[in-house]
Amino acid sequence: MALADSALSLAAEHLVAQLNAAFPEVRTVADNPHATAKMPDGANPMPLLNLFFYRIAPSPTHVSQTSEEPIFLRLFALLTPFPVKDAASENAHLKILGEVIRHFHENPVSAVLGTPLADGTKYRLRAILQAPSMEELNHIWTTQGSDVPYQMSAAYEFSLVPIDPAVLAPPAGQVLTTLLEVRNNTEKKPTPQDFDLEITAFPGFDADAPRPAPYAGSPHLPIVLARTADGPAGTMDVAANAPSLALALAGAPGRHAQLRVAALDANGAELLADVSNHPLATHLIDHPDAHIDRPFAVPPGTEKLVVAVRASDAQGARLQPERVGNTLTLSVAP
């Protein structure tokens, strides 16, 4: 019964085919140097290039987390030329090695390959020239037997070769939203920090294609900032007698946002809270269409105002799951 192909065997076959195509006058074989050196000259009237795979190592960076994920391997090999022994073979081994090194220097990355499974992982092999010590080279070479004289060789790493498991873990779904919430921590002891920030991806985004409308078809979170003479800002002093708050409100055009404004005293107690619903005209926070003047009468004793924005429908009901777009804290000037 014939053995099934593996990703390692397919990688080796690809390298042999690549070198045979690049150097038709030299026959590349994947074997150990001893076996290649003992081939009878009459059976091989052309120079030989031996590809000897001597070590496999795992990738230090592409580490599989479960048995249902591919494992990525580094494949190490010695490339040793065996020229035809005739009058024209002077320095032939260096000629062959020089051409091989030039080839991999000009073509360090292979064509797209695939692992044997029908839905196998697609990958490319990268050829990386190595510089092993003479001690390591001697150790590798002496395993071939004392009757095989050392031949000048080039050492290469070919990586990464993925080994797919028989059952692959299903791929993770596309990330559309990442939520981070940040809250101020004034306590001396460490406490968990909450985050609140949404980054929305564009499904099917192509850098070379026209950029799709922001938030199209995805969950959206509006954002609110204070409107100052220098542009949108995260802080602002509000006059105690100001009839309204100068804000900039942005989000997915055509959708709505709910603004909740709360007045807090010096102890953090809530003196007054007011909720309003607003249509969103632009996703650009510095656009004039984002400007709103939010009526709010600051009650006496207010030290700061907290403005929270949430996505809502046209009737003002908060969208589910309920998420805070961002929270803005404004100081109240005496």
Residue 286 has pLDDT above 70, yes or no: yes
Chosen CATH of 177-207+217-333 out of 3.40.50.300, 2.60.40.2550, 4.10.640.10, 3.40.50.150: 2.60.40.2550
pLDDT at 217 (0 to 100): 41
Q: How far is CA 55 from the centre of its chain?
A: 28
- Give the model's confidence band at 190: pLDDT under 50 very low, under 70 low, under 90 confident, else very high: low
pLDDT at 45 (0 to 100): 73
Beta strands in the chain (DSSP E): 27-30, 48-58, 71-82, 113-114, 122-123, 126-129, 154-163, 177-179, 198-200, 223-228, 231-233, 237-239, 244-250, 256-264, 270-279, 291-295, 304-312, 324-333
What would the mean pLDDT of 138-145 be, rounded to a whole number?
80
Residue 296 has pLDDT above 70, yes or no: yes
- Count CB neighbours of 153 within 10 A: 20
Measured CA distances, 36 to 15, 44, 53 (Å): 17, 10, 13
What would the mean pLDDT of 286-304 be, rounded to a whole number?
91
Residue 90 has pLDDT above 80, yes or no: no
Residue 96 exposed, middle or buried by CB count within 10 Å (0-12, 13-18, 19+) = buried
CATH code of the domain made up of 7-163: 3.30.2000
Residue 194 has pLDDT above 70, yes or no: no
pLDDT, one tens digit per residue, over 61-77 is: 888 778 888 899 999 99
In the chain, domain spans: 7-163, 177-207+217-333
Residue 160: is the preceding peptide bond cis (ω within 30°)?
Answer: yes
Distance CA 309, CA 318 (A): 10
pLDDT at 213 (0 to 100): 41
Distance CA 286, CA 221 (A): 17
pLDDT at 58 (0 to 100): 92
Question: Could you tell me if 33 and 54 are in contact, meaning their C-beta atoms sit under 8 angstroms apart?
Answer: no
- Give the model's confidence band at 88: pLDDT under 50 very low, under 70 low, under 90 confident, else very high: low
- Give the model's confidence band at 186: pLDDT under 50 very low, under 70 low, under 90 confident, else very high: low
Q: What pTM does this model have?
A: 0.52
pLDDT at 216 (0 to 100): 38
Look up residue 294 and give its two tokens: 């939010």
pLDDT at 324 (0 to 100): 72
- Count CB neighbours of 242 within 10 A: 16
The structure tokens 């002077």 sit at: 90
Residue 66 exposed, middle or buried by CB count within 10 Å (0-12, 13-18, 19+) = exposed
pLDDT, one tens digit per residue, over 95-122 is: 999 999 999 999 999 999 989 887 888 9
Residue 166 has pLDDT above 60, yes or no: yes
